[in-house]
Structure 1
Amino acid sequence: MSKLILERLKAQFGDDILAVSSFRGDDVAVVKPSRWLDVARFVHDDPRCDCTYFVDLSAIDNCDPRTDELDMDDRFEVYVIAYSVAKKHRVRLKTRLSGDEPRIASVIPVWSGANWMEREVFDMFGVHFEGHPDERRILTYDEFKGHPLRKDYPANRTQPLVEYRDGTFNKLGPFLQDEGMPLNRSVLPDERQ
Protein backbone atom coordinates (compact mmCIF):
# COMPACT_ATOMS: atom_id res chain seq x y z
CA MET A 1 0.00 0.00 0.00
CA SER A 2 2.74 2.48 0.81
CA LYS A 3 4.27 1.98 -2.63
CA LEU A 4 1.70 4.65 -3.38
CA ILE A 5 3.80 6.99 -1.22
CA LEU A 6 6.94 6.19 -3.20
CA GLU A 7 5.11 6.82 -6.48
CA ARG A 8 3.71 10.11 -5.13
CA LEU A 9 7.17 11.19 -3.99
CA LYS A 10 8.77 10.41 -7.36
CA ALA A 11 5.98 12.26 -9.17
CA GLN A 12 6.14 15.29 -6.86
CA PHE A 13 9.91 15.63 -6.36
CA GLY A 14 11.46 13.91 -9.40
CA ASP A 15 15.27 13.84 -9.25
CA ASP A 16 15.27 15.04 -5.63
CA ILE A 17 14.28 11.48 -4.71
CA LEU A 18 17.61 9.72 -5.25
CA ALA A 19 16.39 6.14 -4.79
CA VAL A 20 13.38 4.14 -3.66
CA SER A 21 13.11 0.58 -2.43
CA SER A 22 10.49 -1.69 -0.97
CA PHE A 23 11.04 -4.89 0.98
CA ARG A 24 8.50 -6.71 3.16
CA GLY A 25 6.41 -3.65 3.85
CA ASP A 26 9.36 -1.34 4.46
CA ASP A 27 9.27 1.36 1.83
CA VAL A 28 12.27 3.66 1.73
CA ALA A 29 12.90 6.90 -0.14
CA VAL A 30 16.38 8.43 -0.22
CA VAL A 31 16.03 12.21 -0.39
CA LYS A 32 18.45 15.00 -1.30
CA PRO A 33 19.41 16.81 1.93
CA SER A 34 18.25 20.15 0.50
CA ARG A 35 14.69 18.77 0.11
CA TRP A 36 14.51 16.85 3.41
CA LEU A 37 11.99 19.13 5.13
CA ASP A 38 9.88 19.56 1.98
CA VAL A 39 9.54 15.81 1.50
CA ALA A 40 8.71 15.29 5.19
CA ARG A 41 6.04 17.97 5.00
CA PHE A 42 4.62 16.40 1.84
CA VAL A 43 4.21 12.89 3.30
CA HIS A 44 2.57 14.47 6.35
CA ASP A 45 0.21 16.89 4.57
CA ASP A 46 -0.66 15.09 1.34
CA PRO A 47 -4.10 13.45 1.83
CA ARG A 48 -3.06 10.34 -0.10
CA CYS A 49 0.05 9.84 2.05
CA ASP A 50 -1.35 11.12 5.38
CA CYS A 51 1.69 10.06 7.45
CA THR A 52 0.81 12.11 10.50
CA TYR A 53 2.18 9.67 13.08
CA PHE A 54 5.88 10.14 13.82
CA VAL A 55 7.56 6.82 14.69
CA ASP A 56 11.33 7.32 14.85
CA LEU A 57 14.30 9.43 13.85
CA SER A 58 17.91 8.32 14.12
CA ALA A 59 21.24 8.24 12.31
CA ILE A 60 23.88 5.81 11.10
CA ASP A 61 27.62 6.48 10.79
CA ASN A 62 28.88 4.66 7.70
CA CYS A 63 32.59 5.41 8.07
CA ASP A 64 35.09 2.59 8.37
CA PRO A 65 37.42 3.41 11.29
CA ARG A 66 39.87 0.68 10.19
CA THR A 67 41.05 2.81 7.27
CA ASP A 68 43.57 5.60 7.66
CA GLU A 69 41.46 8.05 5.69
CA LEU A 70 37.93 8.73 6.83
CA ASP A 71 35.55 8.87 3.88
CA MET A 72 33.48 11.96 4.60
CA ASP A 73 31.27 11.64 1.50
CA ASP A 74 27.86 10.36 2.53
CA ARG A 75 29.28 9.41 5.92
CA PHE A 76 26.03 9.82 7.84
CA GLU A 77 22.51 8.65 7.10
CA VAL A 78 19.65 10.34 8.92
CA TYR A 79 16.28 8.68 8.67
CA VAL A 80 12.74 9.30 9.84
CA ILE A 81 9.93 6.75 9.93
CA ALA A 82 6.35 8.01 9.59
CA TYR A 83 3.08 6.11 9.67
CA SER A 84 -0.46 6.74 8.48
CA VAL A 85 -2.96 5.48 11.02
CA ALA A 86 -5.89 6.05 8.66
CA LYS A 87 -4.31 4.37 5.63
CA LYS A 88 -2.20 1.81 7.55
CA HIS A 89 1.04 2.36 5.69
CA ARG A 90 4.46 3.67 6.64
CA VAL A 91 7.49 5.10 4.94
CA ARG A 92 11.12 5.64 5.86
CA LEU A 93 12.76 8.79 4.53
CA LYS A 94 16.56 8.76 4.45
CA THR A 95 19.14 11.32 3.53
CA ARG A 96 22.92 11.16 3.37
CA LEU A 97 25.16 13.82 4.88
CA SER A 98 28.85 14.53 4.40
CA GLY A 99 31.54 16.17 6.45
CA ASP A 100 32.64 16.32 10.05
CA GLU A 101 29.90 18.79 11.07
CA PRO A 102 26.84 17.51 9.16
CA ARG A 103 23.71 19.70 9.03
CA ILE A 104 20.11 19.02 8.05
CA ALA A 105 16.79 20.83 8.50
CA SER A 106 14.80 19.95 11.60
CA VAL A 107 11.51 18.10 11.03
CA ILE A 108 9.98 19.52 14.22
CA PRO A 109 7.75 21.88 12.18
CA VAL A 110 6.18 18.71 10.72
CA TRP A 111 6.31 16.30 13.66
CA SER A 112 6.85 17.94 17.05
CA GLY A 113 7.60 14.50 18.52
CA ALA A 114 10.97 14.57 16.76
CA ASN A 115 12.31 17.06 19.32
CA TRP A 116 14.14 14.77 21.71
CA MET A 117 15.16 12.31 18.99
CA GLU A 118 16.88 15.10 17.06
CA ARG A 119 18.63 16.09 20.28
CA GLU A 120 19.77 12.49 20.75
CA VAL A 121 21.15 12.32 17.19
CA PHE A 122 22.97 15.62 17.79
CA ASP A 123 24.40 14.34 21.07
CA MET A 124 25.44 10.89 19.85
CA PHE A 125 26.47 11.64 16.22
CA GLY A 126 27.04 15.41 16.05
CA VAL A 127 24.41 16.01 13.36
CA HIS A 128 23.11 19.58 13.66
CA PHE A 129 19.40 20.15 13.02
CA GLU A 130 18.89 23.64 11.64
CA GLY A 131 15.86 25.33 13.15
CA HIS A 132 15.75 23.07 16.22
CA PRO A 133 14.34 25.08 19.16
CA ASP A 134 16.66 23.56 21.80
CA GLU A 135 19.68 21.85 20.27
CA ARG A 136 21.69 20.79 23.29
CA ARG A 137 22.91 17.49 24.65
CA ILE A 138 20.26 15.16 26.04
CA LEU A 139 22.14 11.99 27.12
CA THR A 140 25.61 13.26 27.98
CA TYR A 141 26.64 16.23 30.09
CA ASP A 142 27.55 19.63 28.65
CA GLU A 143 31.32 19.19 29.09
CA PHE A 144 31.37 15.84 27.26
CA LYS A 145 33.87 15.89 24.39
CA GLY A 146 32.91 14.30 21.10
CA HIS A 147 29.98 12.19 19.98
CA PRO A 148 30.15 8.60 21.26
CA LEU A 149 28.23 6.80 18.49
CA ARG A 150 30.57 8.02 15.77
CA LYS A 151 32.70 5.13 14.60
CA ASP A 152 35.87 7.20 14.90
CA TYR A 153 35.20 7.95 18.58
CA PRO A 154 38.01 6.30 20.59
CA ALA A 155 36.65 3.50 22.80
CA ASN A 156 39.24 4.22 25.51
CA ARG A 157 38.68 7.97 25.59
CA THR A 158 38.33 9.52 29.03
CA GLN A 159 36.03 12.43 29.70
CA PRO A 160 36.65 15.42 31.97
CA LEU A 161 35.42 15.21 35.53
CA VAL A 162 32.86 17.83 36.42
CA GLU A 163 31.85 19.29 39.74
CA TYR A 164 28.73 17.94 41.39
CA ARG A 165 25.81 20.17 40.52
CA ASP A 166 23.66 21.01 43.49
CA GLY A 167 20.55 23.10 43.36
CA THR A 168 17.21 23.28 41.72
CA PHE A 169 16.62 22.65 38.08
CA ASN A 170 14.09 24.45 35.97
CA LYS A 171 11.73 22.04 34.29
CA LEU A 172 11.17 22.72 30.66
CA GLY A 173 8.00 21.79 28.82
CA PRO A 174 6.22 19.45 28.19
CA PHE A 175 6.20 18.66 31.93
CA LEU A 176 3.13 19.58 33.95
CA GLN A 177 2.17 19.34 37.62
CA ASP A 178 0.90 15.81 37.17
CA GLU A 179 4.28 14.71 35.79
CA GLY A 180 5.07 11.15 36.76
CA MET A 181 1.45 10.17 37.34
CA PRO A 182 0.17 6.98 35.76
CA LEU A 183 -1.22 7.70 32.32
CA ASN A 184 -4.71 6.54 33.25
CA ARG A 185 -4.97 8.82 36.30
CA SER A 186 -6.17 12.37 35.93
CA VAL A 187 -5.26 15.00 38.48
CA LEU A 188 -8.44 16.39 39.96
CA PRO A 189 -8.80 20.17 40.17
CA ASP A 190 -8.65 20.15 43.98
CA GLU A 191 -5.38 18.14 43.87
CA ARG A 192 -3.53 20.78 41.88
CA GLN A 193 -1.30 23.14 43.81
Structure 2
Amino acid sequence: MGPGRGGEVEQTTDQDGTAPEGGTRTAPAARDRQGMFGVRGSGDTSGFGGLRLPGYAPAPAERPYGGWFDEFADEFAEALLERGIPRGAVEQVTVDRGEITFYVQREHIVEMCRTLRDDPALRYELCSSVSGVDYGADVDRRLHVVYHLLSMTFRRRIRLEVVLDVDDAHVPSIVEVYPTADWHERETWDMFGVIFDGHPALTRILMPDDWEGHPQRKDYPLGGIPVEYKGAEIPPPDERRAYS
Protein backbone atom coordinates (compact mmCIF):
# COMPACT_ATOMS: atom_id res chain seq x y z
CA MET A 1 0.00 0.00 0.00
CA GLY A 2 1.14 3.55 -0.64
CA PRO A 3 -0.06 7.13 -0.56
CA GLY A 4 -2.59 7.99 -3.25
CA ARG A 5 -3.80 11.31 -4.57
CA GLY A 6 -4.47 13.92 -1.94
CA GLY A 7 -2.72 11.94 0.78
CA GLU A 8 -5.20 9.06 0.64
CA VAL A 9 -3.83 5.54 0.88
CA GLU A 10 -4.44 3.52 -2.25
CA GLN A 11 -4.30 -0.26 -2.31
CA THR A 12 -1.80 -2.01 -4.55
CA THR A 13 -3.20 -4.47 -7.06
CA ASP A 14 -2.22 -7.81 -8.53
CA GLN A 15 -1.53 -8.38 -12.22
CA ASP A 16 -5.20 -9.10 -12.87
CA GLY A 17 -6.18 -5.69 -11.49
CA THR A 18 -7.56 -6.95 -8.19
CA ALA A 19 -6.18 -6.72 -4.67
CA PRO A 20 -6.50 -8.92 -1.58
CA GLU A 21 -9.45 -6.80 -0.50
CA GLY A 22 -10.56 -5.76 -3.99
CA GLY A 23 -8.95 -2.30 -3.96
CA THR A 24 -9.22 -1.20 -7.59
CA ARG A 25 -11.21 2.02 -7.01
CA THR A 26 -9.33 5.32 -7.27
CA ALA A 27 -9.90 8.08 -4.72
CA PRO A 28 -11.27 11.49 -5.73
CA ALA A 29 -8.59 14.06 -6.47
CA ALA A 30 -7.72 16.36 -3.58
CA ARG A 31 -9.33 19.81 -3.47
CA ASP A 32 -8.75 22.71 -1.11
CA ARG A 33 -11.47 23.55 1.38
CA GLN A 34 -12.58 27.15 0.93
CA GLY A 35 -15.56 29.39 1.51
CA MET A 36 -18.46 29.06 3.97
CA PHE A 37 -18.53 31.38 7.00
CA GLY A 38 -16.11 34.27 7.15
CA VAL A 39 -16.23 34.88 3.39
CA ARG A 40 -16.23 38.61 2.54
CA GLY A 41 -17.32 40.54 -0.51
CA SER A 42 -19.54 37.91 -2.11
CA GLY A 43 -22.90 39.39 -1.10
CA ASP A 44 -23.94 35.90 -0.06
CA THR A 45 -26.59 35.92 2.68
CA SER A 46 -27.15 32.17 2.64
CA GLY A 47 -24.11 31.20 4.72
CA PHE A 48 -22.87 29.15 1.77
CA GLY A 49 -20.22 31.53 0.53
CA GLY A 50 -19.01 29.25 -2.26
CA LEU A 51 -18.09 26.38 0.06
CA ARG A 52 -15.85 23.78 -1.57
CA LEU A 53 -14.87 20.66 0.31
CA PRO A 54 -11.95 18.38 -0.58
CA GLY A 55 -12.90 15.09 -2.18
CA TYR A 56 -12.68 12.35 0.41
CA ALA A 57 -12.57 8.59 0.09
CA PRO A 58 -11.60 6.37 3.04
CA ALA A 59 -8.57 4.17 2.48
CA PRO A 60 -9.15 0.50 1.61
CA ALA A 61 -9.38 -1.62 4.75
CA GLU A 62 -6.98 -4.40 5.68
CA ARG A 63 -7.63 -7.54 7.68
CA PRO A 64 -8.55 -7.83 10.44
CA TYR A 65 -11.47 -5.45 10.04
CA GLY A 66 -12.58 -5.94 13.63
CA GLY A 67 -15.84 -6.97 15.30
CA TRP A 68 -18.23 -9.03 13.21
CA PHE A 69 -16.91 -7.59 9.94
CA ASP A 70 -14.37 -10.38 9.35
CA GLU A 71 -16.88 -13.18 9.91
CA PHE A 72 -19.36 -11.46 7.62
CA ALA A 73 -16.77 -10.82 4.90
CA ASP A 74 -15.82 -14.50 4.83
CA GLU A 75 -19.46 -15.62 4.63
CA PHE A 76 -20.20 -13.03 1.95
CA ALA A 77 -17.20 -14.11 -0.15
CA GLU A 78 -18.24 -17.76 0.13
CA ALA A 79 -21.83 -16.96 -0.88
CA LEU A 80 -20.65 -14.97 -3.92
CA LEU A 81 -18.37 -17.86 -4.96
CA GLU A 82 -21.25 -20.34 -4.74
CA ARG A 83 -23.33 -18.15 -7.07
CA GLY A 84 -20.56 -17.65 -9.61
CA ILE A 85 -20.08 -13.94 -8.93
CA PRO A 86 -16.42 -13.13 -9.68
CA ARG A 87 -14.00 -11.91 -7.05
CA GLY A 88 -13.44 -8.69 -8.97
CA ALA A 89 -17.12 -7.73 -8.56
CA VAL A 90 -16.05 -6.17 -5.24
CA GLU A 91 -13.73 -3.29 -6.12
CA GLN A 92 -12.86 -2.30 -2.57
CA VAL A 93 -13.76 -2.91 1.07
CA THR A 94 -13.68 0.07 3.42
CA VAL A 95 -14.22 0.29 7.17
CA ASP A 96 -14.77 3.88 8.29
CA ARG A 97 -16.63 5.43 11.22
CA GLY A 98 -17.80 2.03 12.40
CA GLU A 99 -19.38 1.08 9.06
CA ILE A 100 -18.28 -1.45 6.45
CA THR A 101 -18.75 -0.56 2.78
CA PHE A 102 -18.33 -2.78 -0.29
CA TYR A 103 -17.66 -0.90 -3.53
CA VAL A 104 -19.14 -3.13 -6.23
CA GLN A 105 -19.28 -3.20 -10.01
CA ARG A 106 -22.67 -2.09 -11.26
CA GLU A 107 -23.32 -5.11 -13.47
CA HIS A 108 -23.29 -7.35 -10.39
CA ILE A 109 -25.37 -5.20 -8.03
CA VAL A 110 -28.66 -7.09 -8.52
CA GLU A 111 -27.25 -10.58 -7.98
CA MET A 112 -25.15 -9.32 -5.10
CA CYS A 113 -28.27 -7.93 -3.41
CA ARG A 114 -30.13 -11.17 -4.09
CA THR A 115 -27.28 -13.11 -2.50
CA LEU A 116 -27.29 -10.88 0.57
CA ARG A 117 -31.05 -11.28 0.92
CA ASP A 118 -31.38 -15.02 0.32
CA ASP A 119 -28.24 -16.62 1.75
CA PRO A 120 -29.12 -18.08 5.18
CA ALA A 121 -25.80 -16.95 6.67
CA LEU A 122 -26.38 -13.33 5.56
CA ARG A 123 -30.13 -12.59 5.53
CA TYR A 124 -30.17 -8.88 4.64
CA GLU A 125 -33.93 -8.68 4.35
CA LEU A 126 -34.32 -4.91 4.02
CA CYS A 127 -32.87 -2.18 1.83
CA SER A 128 -33.48 0.85 4.03
CA SER A 129 -32.09 3.47 1.66
CA VAL A 130 -30.75 4.14 -1.83
CA SER A 131 -29.11 7.54 -2.23
CA GLY A 132 -26.63 9.43 -4.39
CA VAL A 133 -23.44 11.45 -4.03
CA ASP A 134 -21.79 13.77 -6.53
CA TYR A 135 -18.11 14.51 -5.85
CA GLY A 136 -17.94 17.27 -8.44
CA ALA A 137 -16.80 17.88 -11.99
CA ASP A 138 -13.06 17.52 -11.27
CA VAL A 139 -13.39 13.96 -9.96
CA ASP A 140 -13.27 10.80 -12.08
CA ARG A 141 -16.38 8.62 -11.76
CA ARG A 142 -17.97 11.39 -9.74
CA LEU A 143 -21.42 9.86 -9.16
CA HIS A 144 -21.86 7.31 -6.38
CA VAL A 145 -24.98 5.28 -5.59
CA VAL A 146 -25.12 4.12 -1.97
CA TYR A 147 -27.25 1.21 -0.70
CA HIS A 148 -27.92 0.71 3.02
CA LEU A 149 -28.88 -2.87 3.83
CA LEU A 150 -30.20 -4.21 7.14
CA SER A 151 -30.25 -7.76 8.45
CA MET A 152 -33.13 -7.87 10.90
CA THR A 153 -32.20 -11.48 11.73
CA PHE A 154 -28.63 -10.71 12.79
CA ARG A 155 -29.11 -6.98 13.59
CA ARG A 156 -26.32 -5.91 11.26
CA ARG A 157 -26.02 -3.07 8.75
CA ILE A 158 -23.74 -2.84 5.72
CA ARG A 159 -23.37 -0.49 2.78
CA LEU A 160 -22.88 -1.19 -0.92
CA GLU A 161 -21.60 1.56 -3.19
CA VAL A 162 -21.52 1.78 -6.99
CA VAL A 163 -19.32 4.38 -8.71
CA LEU A 164 -20.40 5.82 -12.08
CA ASP A 165 -19.22 8.18 -14.80
CA VAL A 166 -21.51 11.16 -15.19
CA ASP A 167 -21.71 10.51 -18.96
CA ASP A 168 -22.80 6.91 -18.38
CA ALA A 169 -24.91 7.21 -15.24
CA HIS A 170 -26.68 3.86 -15.59
CA VAL A 171 -27.05 1.16 -12.95
CA PRO A 172 -29.49 -1.78 -12.82
CA SER A 173 -32.53 -1.31 -10.61
CA ILE A 174 -32.75 -3.53 -7.52
CA VAL A 175 -36.53 -3.14 -7.13
CA GLU A 176 -37.06 -6.78 -8.12
CA VAL A 177 -35.00 -7.79 -5.08
CA TYR A 178 -35.93 -5.01 -2.65
CA PRO A 179 -39.31 -3.39 -3.47
CA THR A 180 -38.56 -0.64 -0.93
CA ALA A 181 -35.96 0.70 -3.37
CA ASP A 182 -38.72 1.85 -5.75
CA TRP A 183 -39.17 5.36 -4.31
CA HIS A 184 -35.52 5.73 -3.31
CA GLU A 185 -34.32 5.05 -6.86
CA ARG A 186 -36.83 7.56 -8.19
CA GLU A 187 -35.52 10.22 -5.82
CA THR A 188 -31.90 9.45 -6.74
CA TRP A 189 -32.82 9.77 -10.42
CA ASP A 190 -34.66 13.03 -9.74
CA MET A 191 -31.89 14.64 -7.69
CA PHE A 192 -28.74 13.18 -9.29
CA GLY A 193 -29.74 11.95 -12.74
CA VAL A 194 -28.75 8.32 -12.13
CA ILE A 195 -30.74 6.09 -14.49
CA PHE A 196 -31.87 2.83 -12.87
CA ASP A 197 -32.30 0.44 -15.78
CA GLY A 198 -35.28 -1.86 -15.35
CA HIS A 199 -37.09 0.34 -12.82
CA PRO A 200 -40.87 -0.11 -13.19
CA ALA A 201 -41.64 3.65 -13.38
CA LEU A 202 -38.59 5.91 -13.28
CA THR A 203 -40.26 9.33 -13.06
CA ARG A 204 -39.75 12.52 -11.06
CA ILE A 205 -40.78 12.28 -7.42
CA LEU A 206 -39.86 15.71 -5.99
CA MET A 207 -39.50 18.07 -8.96
CA PRO A 208 -42.16 18.74 -11.63
CA ASP A 209 -42.13 16.26 -14.51
CA ASP A 210 -40.86 18.87 -16.97
CA TRP A 211 -38.05 20.17 -14.73
CA GLU A 212 -34.66 20.46 -16.41
CA GLY A 213 -31.60 19.18 -14.59
CA HIS A 214 -30.95 17.39 -11.31
CA PRO A 215 -30.74 19.76 -8.32
CA GLN A 216 -28.24 17.88 -6.14
CA ARG A 217 -25.55 17.61 -8.78
CA LYS A 218 -22.54 19.79 -8.06
CA ASP A 219 -22.82 21.53 -11.44
CA TYR A 220 -26.43 22.58 -10.78
CA PRO A 221 -26.74 26.36 -10.18
CA LEU A 222 -27.42 27.56 -6.63
CA GLY A 223 -29.59 30.39 -7.87
CA GLY A 224 -30.71 32.26 -10.95
CA ILE A 225 -33.45 29.73 -11.63
CA PRO A 226 -37.07 30.92 -12.10
CA VAL A 227 -39.28 29.83 -9.22
CA GLU A 228 -42.07 27.56 -10.43
CA TYR A 229 -45.64 28.92 -10.09
CA LYS A 230 -44.58 32.40 -8.83
CA GLY A 231 -42.69 33.94 -11.71
CA ALA A 232 -39.90 35.05 -9.39
CA GLU A 233 -36.21 34.27 -9.51
CA ILE A 234 -33.67 33.54 -6.76
CA PRO A 235 -30.30 35.10 -7.66
CA PRO A 236 -27.04 33.17 -7.30
CA PRO A 237 -25.41 33.47 -3.85
CA ASP A 238 -22.70 35.90 -5.00
CA GLU A 239 -25.37 38.29 -6.36
CA ARG A 240 -27.61 38.37 -3.31
CA ARG A 241 -27.93 41.45 -1.17
CA ALA A 242 -25.54 41.73 1.76
CA TYR A 243 -26.86 43.08 5.05
CA SER A 244 -23.56 43.98 6.71
State the TM-score bracket (shorter-chain normalisation).
0.7 to 0.9
Match among 15, 20, 25 for residue 93 of structure 2: 20
2:143 aligns with: 76
Q: Distance in 1 between matches of 2:74 and 2:229?
A: 52
Q: 2:220 aligns with which of 153, 166, 172?
A: 153
**Change in CA separation of 1:49 and 1:2 when aligned onto 2, cut-off 3 Å:** farther
Partner Cα distance (2:226, 2:71) in 1: 48
Cα contact 2:187–2:205 (8 A) shared by 1: yes
Alpha-carbon contact 1:75-1:99 (below 8 Å) kept = yes
Select 1:100's aligned residue among 145, 167, 172.
Answer: 167
Q: How many percent identity over aligned positions?
A: 30
- Which one-letter code corresponds to 2:209 in the other structure? D
Aligned-partner residue type, residue 94 of structure 2: S
Q: Which amino acid in 2 is paired with 1:140?
A: M
Structure 1 unaligned runs (5+)? 65-69, 164-193
Which segments of 5 or more consecutive residues in structure 2 lack a partner in the other structure? Answer: 1-67, 81-85, 231-244
> Deviation of residue 99 (structure 1)?
2.6
* Shift in Å, 1:19: 0.8
Contact residue 76 and residue 122 of structure 2 kept, 8 A: no
- Give the superposition deviation at 1:160: 7.5
Deviates more, 1:18-27 or 1:41-50: 18-27
**Deviation by residue 1:87-136 (Cα, 9 ceiling, x = unmatched):** 11111000100133500000101110011010000000000000100100
Contact 1:5–1:43, Cα closer than 8 Å, also in 2:
no
Give 4+ residue runs of structure 1 displaced > 6 Å after superposition. none
Count of aligned residue pairs for this structure pair: 157
Q: Which amino acid aligns with 2:180?
A: G
1:189 aligned residue: none
Contact kept in structure 2, 1:143 and 1:160, CA below 8 Å? no
User: Match for residue 191 of structure 2?
Assistant: 124
- Aligned-pair CA distance for 1:7: 2.6
Q: Are the equivalent residues in 1 in contact too, given 2:127–2:149 (CA < 8 A)? A: yes
The 1:42/1:152 distance shift into structure 2, 3 A limit, reads same
TM superposition shift of 1:2: 4.3
> Is 1:41–2:114 an aligned residue pair?
yes
Matching residue of 1:191: none
Q: TM-score, normalised by structure 1?
A: 0.74
Cα distance in 2 between the residues matched to 1:60 and 1:24: 18
Q: CA deviation at 1:162?
A: 6.3
